[in-house]
């Protein structure tokens, strides 16, 4: 992404501890154009960056050590201690701080009522080959997940259930798309995401010695009867339209089904993953765990 660090409209954040802040009101500003283009996957891929909205998310991401490229905030939150802290951290890590009008924030986020703070971060994937699953760890593997809302929900739910990572298998929707990031409600910064081809996933699964529990509408095993204690578990979930392909289903140690009543053919992918996660980790979750 183009990052012009010259200050053609100098201003100070709050007490003035942050000196180099660019004041931007024009939608024609090239930095703003670049940020707006992050709504396109092509531009996210080219720059290796993505956008996250909201002060809390930005603060959490900074605390978790994510690399921030640009912090954007609305003039009306200037001087708020938390915003100033975020701005200081951004500058001290070599990032750019932009103070903008609400009109610019609306354009960047494509929302009428935008969040007052936005961060542009480096994308981060965990290499699958670096994962050596340990006892009682749970991973979720998603086959060709298509819907950004589903992916965001799975990342958020995996975080809430104490899972160790989400593995994207095959051609999937982008975990760093704006809609996905919104649906994660910040968990995109807490939950490591890996990606793999089906062949890479199968090879990894063999050497990882994890128990793969695949979910399938034709599964013969009631998901509540499976032993999830001890060995690391990988919950393998199928594509929204076509379910799990045979090449992945036959790699499973168990083919699990969630019993259903009523007329619905299947459960939504995010819901099915949530049910599986909380069952697989039931023995590890207590009300006073956090």
Q: Of residues 269, 274, 277, 281, which one binds ligand SAM by CB under 6 A? A: 269
Q: Is 234 in the site for ligand SAM (CB under 6 A)?
A: no
Interacting residues of 286 by C-beta distance below 8 A, sequence separation 6+: none
Structure token pair of residue 141 = 């593997």
Q: From CA 23, how far away is CA 217, in angstroms rounded? A: 55
Q: From CA 172, how far away is CA 152, in angstroms rounded? A: 12
Q: Is 266 in the site for ligand SAM (CB under 6 A)?
A: yes
Q: From CA 25, how far away is CA 116, in angstroms rounded? A: 14
Q: Which is nearer to ligand SAM, 100 or 214 (by Cβ)?
A: 214
Q: From CA 35, how far away is CA 149, in angstroms rounded? A: 22
Q: Is 217 in the site for ligand SAM (CB under 6 A)?
A: yes
Number of residues that bind ligand SAM (CB under 6 A): 16
Q: Is 175 in the site for ligand SAM (CB under 6 A)?
A: no
Q: Which is nearer to ligand SAM, 32 or 272 (by Cβ)?
A: 272
Q: From CA 117, how far away is CA 17, in angstroms rounded? A: 19
Give the range of 18-26, 45-53, 87-95, 211-219 binding ligand SAM by CB under 6 A.
211-219
Q: From CA 228, how far away is CA 146, in angstroms rounded? A: 28
Q: From CA 214, how far away is CA 208, in angstroms rounded? A: 16
Q: Of residues 102, 174, 179, 240, which one binds ligand SAM by CB under 6 A? A: 240
Q: What angle do CA 145, 208, 142 make, to 5 degrees?
A: 5
Site string for ligand SAM, 78-117 (x = CB under 6 A): ----------------------------------------
Q: Is 258 in the site for ligand SAM (CB under 6 A)?
A: yes
Q: Of residues 219, 252, 254, 280, which one binds ligand SAM by CB under 6 A? A: 219
Binding site residues, ligand SAM, CB under 6 A: 215-217, 219, 237-238, 240, 243-244, 257-258, 260, 266-267, 269, 272
């Amino acid at each position: 992404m183009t990052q012009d660090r010259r200050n053609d409209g100098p201003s100070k954040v709050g007490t003035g501890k942050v000196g180099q802040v660019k004041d931007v009101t024009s939608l024609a500003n090239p930095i703003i154009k670049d940020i707006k283009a992050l709504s396109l996957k092509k531009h996210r891929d080219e720059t290796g960056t993505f956008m996250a909205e909201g002060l809390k998310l930005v603060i959490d991401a900074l605390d978790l050590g994510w690399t921030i490229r640009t912090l954007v905030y609305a003039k009306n939150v200037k001087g708020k201690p938390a915003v100033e802290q975020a701005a200081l951290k951004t500058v001290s890590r070599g990032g750019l701080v932009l103070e903008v009008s609400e009109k610019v924030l609306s354009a960047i986020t494509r929302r009428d009522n935008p969040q007052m703070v936005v961060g542009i971060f480096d994308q981060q994937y965990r290499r699958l080959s670096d994962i050596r699953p340990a006892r009682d760890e749970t991973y979720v593997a998603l086959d060709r997940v298509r819907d950004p809302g589903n992916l965001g929900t799975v990342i958020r739910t995996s975080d809430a259930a104490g899972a160790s990572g989400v593995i994207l298998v095959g051609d999937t929707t982008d975990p760093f798309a704006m809609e996905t990031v919104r649906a994660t409600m910040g968990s995109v910064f807490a939950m490591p995401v890996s990606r793999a081809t089906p062949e890479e996933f199968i090879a990894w699964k063999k050497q990882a010695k994890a128990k793969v529990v695949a979910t399938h509408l034709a599964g013969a095993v009631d998901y509540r009867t499976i032993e999830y204690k001890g060995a690391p578990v990988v919950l393998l979930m199928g594509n929204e339209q076509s379910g799990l392909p045979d090449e992945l289903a036959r790699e499973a140690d168990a083919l699990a089904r969630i019993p259903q009543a009523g007329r619905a053919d299947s459960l939504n992918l995010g819901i099915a993953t949530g049910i599986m996660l909380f069952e697989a980790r039931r023995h590890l979750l207590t009300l006073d765990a956090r």
